[in-house]
Structure 1
Amino acid sequence: MSEKPQSTMLRKLPLIVILLVAVAGAVYLRDYLSFQALADNREALLAFRDANYLLTVLGFIAGYIVIVAFSLPGATIATLTGGFLFATFAGALFNVVGATLGAVIIFQAARWGLGEKLAARMEASDGMVKRIKDGIDANQWEMLFLIRLIPAVPFFVANLVPALVGVPLFRFVITTFLGIIPGSIVYTSVGAGLSEVFASGETPNLGIIFEPAILLPILGLCALAVMPIIIKALRGKKGL
């Protein structure tokens, strides 16, 4: 028997709420989650951190979760803020924790609303769709790490696609947490140097991740992630 319309709508409700908040955030929050807003409020943020360190950490992580879960503008600014407030290593840890928990929320919402049914349809289908699904299933760990490591893959895409192809939650959490560490460290380190940037009246170089000294090691990690896929493909051809 098919699901009742009310049950189907209930399952899709979290995803609908996320989409509505994302649209509203893109319209109304862009000016509040910006580099200029951070620059204007930096002294107040530092003073509050010094007086309430633990509360600042918890509030920062909660804010990062909301930004990621609802795909709000300002994720990069939030990462810079983590470095600015907590320095590189502590800031990177808080950034990764917040981003991972936020990613889990949108992943679960997408899987609950669409993913399980879509994955079942892909599994039952024939031809190209089934081959794509089987290819992803055979290399889930590698593919999940790869989409996290490649800087050009939007974060919300990397959160939604695994939900739509039936990736297990545990596997999603591990690959998200570990896979976003390199990029998070880069941007957090930029944030840790914002005091000098503010003093000079400049803006941070957010394209630093594409500079050779940063990009090449990340591409090396991508190569390591894709290597098992290539080896499996070569072994499969030899077996024919």
Structure 2
Amino acid sequence: MSDDGEKGAPTASTGNSGRNPWRFLPVAFVGLGLGLGYAFGFQDYLSLGFLAEQRDALKAFVESNLVLSAVSFLVIYTLAVAFSFPAASILTIFGGFLFGWVLGSVLVAIAATIGATLVFLATRSAFGGFLRARVSGVVKRLADGFRDNAFGYLFVIRLAPIFPFFVVNIAAALFDISLARFFAATFLGILPGTVAYAYLGQGVDSVLVAAREAGREAEISDLVTPEITFAFLLLAGVAAIPTIVSQLRRRG
């Protein structure tokens, strides 16, 4: 078969999948879940103010029902990420406060990776192939570079929380990245930030008390210092070095 014939086959397949309305079902389900969550006020429970009000009751429940609490937290976190609620940081702080930084980090890393993977699969099934078949020029070169170094690029993006977590989940699906690479880069990339935020959550009591005495609601910015943010950026910069060197060698 000629090269033209080989290139033509994927195009036809893409065209058929583009006419399949069922491919939008997973992403429609995500949108529905996000809408229902906001409609029922789920966002009201994702704040340090709620944690300040309910911290004694939550702590008591976890101490009496550790396994049930851990499983419930795992499910809630997974659903929050899967439905793209912008609440990863606050839920990670919750995890550290309720379960300690070690168990909290483990639960968050597992739940966040599973939830992110579900969003990735939903977005890829709906738009991934359709958009990849139509990009050209600079965007296509960017997509090709991302595909060739998918793990390295995604790993660096996950290390430095510059972009919202749910945005990265969606954006990654628009490039040709394998599921295994997405899963591994996400799990490993979020570990440093997960441990840091869970550790902050473990000591959040003093921040909550200080905010209450000041007559205001505590915010994440009260916990995250400029030094921590700089450390994340520095870590991401170091992790990006192998990928940058690899790109320079190819161009040379």
Contact 1:82 / 1:191 at 8 angstroms: preserved in 2? yes
Map of 1:220 onto structure 2: 234
Gaps of 5+ in 2: 1-11
Cα pair distance change 1:101/1:226, threshold 3 Å: same
What letter is aligned with 2:221?
Answer: L
Deviations 1:167-208 (A, max 9, x none): 111101111111111111121111101233344436255365
Q: Distance in 1 between matches of 2:239 and 2:141?
A: 21
1:77-226 equivalences under 5 Å are 77-119=90-132, 121=133, 126-200=136-210, 201=212, 203=218, 205-206=220-221, 208-209=223-224, 211-212=226-227, 214-226=228-240
Q: Distance in 1 between matches of 2:200 and 2:230?
A: 18
Map of 1:9 onto structure 2: 21
Q: Distance in 2 between matches of 1:147 and 1:207?
A: 24
What letter is aligned with 2:202?
Answer: A
Q: Distance in 1 between matches of 2:94 and 2:30?
A: 24
Map of 2:30 onto structure 1: 18
Contact 2:160 / 2:235 at 8 angstroms: preserved in 1? no
1:33 CA drift (Å): 2.1
Q: Distance in 1 between matches of 2:16 and 2:248?
A: 43
What letter is aligned with 2:141?
Answer: R
Deviations 1:64-83 (A, max 9, x none): 00110001243322111101
Normalising by structure 2, what TM-score?
A: 0.83
What letter is aligned with 1:206?
Answer: S
What letter is aligned with 1:64?
Answer: Y
Q: Distance in 1 between matches of 2:176 and 2:204?
A: 40
Map of 1:40 onto structure 2: 53
Normalising by structure 1, what TM-score?
A: 0.87
* Cα-Cα RMSD: 2.3
Deviations 1:32-55 (A, max 9, x none): 222222222222211211111111
